[in-house]
Amino acid sequence: MTSFVLKRLSAAALIIVFLTLAMFVLQRISHTDPVHALLGAGASQAAVRAETHRLGLDQPLFTQYFRYLGHLLQGNLGTSYRTRQPVATDLGHYLPATVELSFYGLLLACALGLVLGIGGAGRWRGAGVFRLVLVAGASTPPFLIALLGLLFLYGHLGWLPASGRTGLSNPPTGPTGLLTVDGILHGQFGTTLDALRHLVLPATCIALVPAVSIGRILRSSLETTMRTDYIRTARAKGLRERTVLVRHALRNSIGPALAMTGLQAGLMFAGVVVIEQIFAWPGIGYYTAQSIPQGDFPAIAGVTLVLSIAYVAINALVDILQAVADPRIRP
């Protein structure tokens, strides 16, 4: 098991190195001149030469890449052309909101996918409703779900807020940056409840489509497992269908669903950009949407690297969890 984990972590590290190389190449072939973007079009030649030397742009490309890689290892993602601040500082401000939204969205997607998969594969009454939900949910885009939720749950019923992370004027600002956690750490449980109310709509919108995909894969895997000989033996012993499904079939069927969860995490990160715009959620999706029209490549590259590393890390974790759930896939 240890060698398997080390191989997966080594592969993840290699992928991240290639990602940094891709970002470096894209930055070098970009039409935006980083020196003039930072200094302005009216900068003197002396200032341009000094800034070019400071950025290392007068060095060979091979040296520039290793300089860029060294800066990344130190947490230096460059300076934003738009905000004139380090990209790492900007991300430190916007990232906690996205982490909180993505975490609860992924948690909700896994929970709904488990319910939909088990409910769809079960033989008890009402299982057809779960199958209908799977088919209907797979064809509904997240932005449409978001708009319907705003019109109905906010505009018509007034049950949930429409935008932002909180309705409080002075929410806690640390130590984690996650309002649901910081509210508990500061003993302000009203803050946590308010943050959860603001999370319900956006988290549900980014969770539904991944939940449907996870549920469909889990249902298919369970149905295949339920036709195996050891399941027939369990039924012959007189065990209830629910016990057979949950205690005997689920573990041997969870591998494909875990793999799908890793894939859906990447799609969820892409959907976060749209959802944050709709709900005015102050995360890195909102930050990216402001940076793109300005051609702010360091900001865009920083967000891309952060999301890519998160995606690679999640898939590495999924591979390890698959090996834990099913030892047969270990080398």
- What tens digit of pLDDT does each residue of 14-32 get? 888 888 888 888 877 777 7
Residue 193 and residue 101: Cα distance in Å, rounded?
Answer: 15
**Structure tokens that stand for 69 in this block:** 């890689």
Residue 74 C-beta-side C-alpha neighbours within 13 Å: 9
Q: Identify whether the C-beta of residue 269 lies closer than 8 Å to the C-beta of residue 312.
A: no
Q: Say yes or no to pLDDT of 68 above 80.
A: yes
> Which pLDDT band holds residue 212 (cuts at 50, 70, 90)?
confident
Among 208-222, 231-245, 248-262, the range with the most confident prediction by mean pLDDT is 208-222
Angle of helix 87-121 versus helix 284-291 axis, rounded to 10: 120
Structure confidence at residue 244 (pLDDT): 74
Residue 48 and residue 52: Cα distance in Å, rounded?
Answer: 6
Q: Say yes or no to pLDDT of 143 above 80.
A: no
- Mean pLDDT computed over every residue of the chain: 80
Q: Say yes or no to pLDDT of 137 above 70.
A: no
Tell me which of 10 and 267 has the higher pLDDT: 10
Q: Identify whether the C-beta of residue 272 lies closer than 8 Å to the C-beta of residue 98.
A: yes
Structure confidence at residue 331 (pLDDT): 57
Angle at CA of residue 200, ends 264 and 120, nearest 5°: 50
Residue 268 and residue 208: Cα distance in Å, rounded?
Answer: 10
Angle at CA of residue 62, ends 56 and 68, nearest 5°: 50
Place of tokens 């590290």: 13
Q: Which residues contact 135 (CB under 8 A, 6 or more apart)?
A: none
Q: Facing residues of 86 across strands?
A: 79
Q: Which residues contact 154 (CB under 8 A, 6 or more apart)?
A: 160, 161, 162, 201
Q: What is the mean pLDDT of residues 293-301?
A: 83
Q: Say yes or no to pLDDT of 142 above 80.
A: no
Structure confidence at residue 173 (pLDDT): 77
Structure confidence at residue 172 (pLDDT): 80
Buried b (16+ CB within 10 A) or exposed e, 37-65: bbbeeeeeeeeeeebbeebeeeeeeeebb
Q: Say yes or no to pLDDT of 95 above 80.
A: yes
Q: Say yes or no to pLDDT of 193 above 80.
A: yes
Q: 307 — alpha (psi -120 to 50), left (phi > 0) or beta? A: alpha
Among 258, 289, 264, residue whose Cα is nearest residue 275: 289
3-state helix, strand, coil in the chain (%, to 5): 75, 0, 25
Structure confidence at residue 58 (pLDDT): 73
Residue 114 and residue 158: Cα distance in Å, rounded?
Answer: 30
The CATH number corresponding to 87-329 among 3.40.50.300, 1.10.287.3240, 2.60.420.10, 1.10.3720.10 equals 1.10.3720.10
Structure confidence at residue 229 (pLDDT): 76
> Which pLDDT band holds residue 169 (cuts at 50, 70, 90)?
confident
SS3 assignment, position 79: strand
Q: What are phi and psi of 78, to 5 degrees?
A: 95, -175
Structure confidence at residue 135 (pLDDT): 66
Structure confidence at residue 329 (pLDDT): 57
Report pLDDT digits (tens) over 99-124. 889 889 888 888 888 888 877 776 66
Percentage above 90 pLDDT, the chain = 0
Q: Identify whether the C-beta of residue 214 lies closer than 8 Å to the C-beta of residue 108.
A: no
SS3 assignment, position 86: strand
Q: What is the mean pLDDT of residues 33-51?
A: 72
Q: Say yes or no to pLDDT of 150 above 80.
A: yes
Q: Say yes or no to pLDDT of 322 above 80.
A: no
Where exactly are the structural domains of the chain? Answer: 2-73, 87-329
> Which pLDDT band holds residue 125 (cuts at 50, 70, 90)?
low
Q: 96-105, 127-136, 170-179, 285-294: which has the minimum mean pLDDT? A: 127-136
Structure confidence at residue 327 (pLDDT): 63
